[in-house]
Structure 1
Amino acid sequence: MSTLTQAVRTSSTGGTKRGRATRNRVETRRAMPAFYWMVWPAVIAFAAFHTLPVLIGIFFSFTNYAGYGAWNFVGLSNYANLFRDDRVLAAYGFSFLFAIVATILTNVISLAIALGLNAKIVGRNFFRGVYFVPYVLAILVIGYVFQFFFSNSLPKILSGIPLFRDNILTSPDWAWTAIVVLAVWQACAFAIIIYLSGLQTIPGELYEAASLDGAGAWRQFRSITFPLIGAFFTINVVLSLKGFLQVFDPIVSLTNGGPGTSTESVTLLIFRGGFSGGEFAYQTANAVIFFIVITVVSLFQFRVLQRREADF
Structure 2
Amino acid sequence: MTEAVRASSTGGDAKKRAARTRTETRRAPSAYYWMVWPAVIAFAFFHTLPVVVGIFFSFTNYPGYGDWNFVGLSNYLNLFKDDRVLHAYGFSFLFAIVATILTNVISLAIALGLNAKIKARNFWRGVYFVPYVLAILVIGYVFQFFFSNSLPKILAGVPLFADNILTNETWAWTAIVGLAVWQACAFSIIIYLSGLQTIPAELYEAASIDGAKPARQFWSITFPLIGAFFTINIVLSLRGFLQVFEQIVALTNGGPGTATESVTLLIFRGGFSGGEFAYQSANAVIFFIVITIVSLLQFRVLQRREADF
What range describes the TM-score normalised by the shorter chain of this pair?
over 0.9
2:12 matches 1:28: no
1:113–1:16 Cα change, 3 Å = farther
Tell me which residue corresponds to 1:152: 149
1:26–1:252 Cα change, 3 Å = same
1:133-152 matches, within 5 Å, as 133-152=130-149
Q: Percent identity?
A: 85
The equivalent position to 2:93 in structure 1, one of 96, 104, 108, is 96
1:213-292 matches, within 5 Å, as 213-292=210-289
Distance 1:142 1:207 in 2: 40
The equivalent position to 1:192 in structure 2, one of 189, 192, 199, is 189
Distance 2:141 2:34 in 1: 45
1:116–1:21 Cα change, 3 Å = same
Tell me which residue corresponds to 1:161: 158
SS of residue in 2 equivalent to 1:67: coil
CA shift, 1:11, in A, is 8.5
* Consecutive unaligned residues in structure 2, runs of 5 or more: none
Distance 1:246 1:25 in 2: 46
2:31 matches 1:56: no
Q: Give TM-score, length-normalised by structure 1.
A: 0.94
Tell me which residue corresponds to 1:37: 34
Q: Give TM-score, length-normalised by structure 2.
A: 0.95
**1:228-272 deviations in Å (ceiling 9; x for gaps):** 000000000000000000000000000000000000000000000
The equivalent position to 2:302 in structure 1, one of 294, 302, 305, is 305
* Consecutive unaligned residues in structure 1, runs of 5 or more: none
1:38–1:162 Cα change, 3 Å = same
**1:101-130 deviations in Å (ceiling 9; x for gaps):** 000000000000000000000010000000
Tell me which residue corresponds to 1:178: 175
Distance 2:214 2:35 in 1: 51
Figure out how many residues of one structure are paired with residues of the other and give that number.
Answer: 308
Q: Please, which moves more after superposition, 128-137 or 33-42?
A: 33-42
**1:182-214 deviations in Å (ceiling 9; x for gaps):** 000000000000000000000000000000000
Tell me which residue corresponds to 2:77: 80
Amino acid paired to 1:166: D
Distance 1:252 1:26 in 2: 55
SS of residue in 2 equivalent to 1:73: coil
CA shift, 1:30, in A, is 5.8
1:22–1:147 Cα change, 3 Å = same
What is the CA RMSD across the aligned residues, in angstroms?
2.1
Amino acid paired to 1:102: A
CA shift, 1:40, in A, is 1.8
Q: Please, which moves more after superposition, 16-25 or 69-78?
A: 16-25
Distance 1:54 1:39 in 2: 21
CA shift, 1:43, in A, is 1.5
CA shift, 1:66, in A, is 0.2
1:22–1:153 Cα change, 3 Å = same
